[in-house]
Copies of this chain bind each other. A is one copy, B any other.
């Protein structure tokens, strides 16, 4: 039997998973920031997670999830993204509202529930933000994607995901018709602030800041 973890443990596992996608090794401070917690609390929990062999932890040197920890993370992420899909697809939430609610739903542990929900939804591969949904074995389907900030000039591409859950950003993007599936290309980069001018198929164009262009992931066509 796969063991059950507390809500606090699950939140740590998930945050570590996300942070280690960005950096080789995760630091105590980075995790404290991410969880809006204090470094001392982090150290405490790290010891517990290591005792449960979910973590490879070298004091003062940083840490990463173990194989088992990664498996646990993918289960939680699967739950989170399936519920997000459900909320948008079935309950007609808007994509910027779902994250908070899914933060609660993701901790409901029943495997049967999650698998039945998956089937009910038609085994979706991507959540409303374009992030891939792990299947019932924890397999995640990758797709070629790069930040909009790195897309070559004048190359057609389609938006595949937005790497930021802040509802302000998401509703701003929606209001500009920037959603998953939108096709666009970059017409130029402004060197002084690295902002980009993008152009839609309907010939409308728009300037996006470097931060925003970094959060948007695209798949070149």
Contacts of A201 in B (CB 8 A): none
Interface: A170 (CB within 8 A): no
Interface: A144 (CB within 8 A): no
Interface segment among A109-117, A161-169, A203-211: the answer is A109-117
**A180 → chain B closest CB, angstroms:** 21
Residue contact B120 to A110, C-beta cutoff 8 Å: no
**A80 → chain B closest CB, angstroms:** 13
Q: How far is the CA of A104 from the CA of B142 in the complex (A)?
A: 32
Interface residues of A in 78-109 (CB under 8 A from B): 87, 90-93, 97, 100-101, 104-105, 108-109
Contacts of A104 in B (CB 8 A): 108-110
**A84 → chain B closest CB, angstroms:** 12
Contacts of A108 in B (CB 8 A): 101, 104-105, 108
Chain A interface helix/strand/loop/mixed: helix
**A108 → chain B closest CB, angstroms:** 5
**A94 → chain B closest CB, angstroms:** 11
Contacts of A87 in B (CB 8 A): 113
> Which 4 interchain pairs have the tightest Cβ spacing?
A91-B116, A104-B108, A101-B110, A101-B113
Q: How far is the CA of A14 from the CA of B62 in the complex (A)?
A: 44
Interface residues of A in 139-182 (CB under 8 A from B): none
Kindly name the residue among A100, A113, A116 whose own CB sees the greatest number of chain B CB atoms within 10 A.
A113
Contacts of A113 in B (CB 8 A): 87, 91, 101
Contacts of A97 in B (CB 8 A): 112
**A82 → chain B closest CB, angstroms:** 12
Contacts of A90 in B (CB 8 A): 120
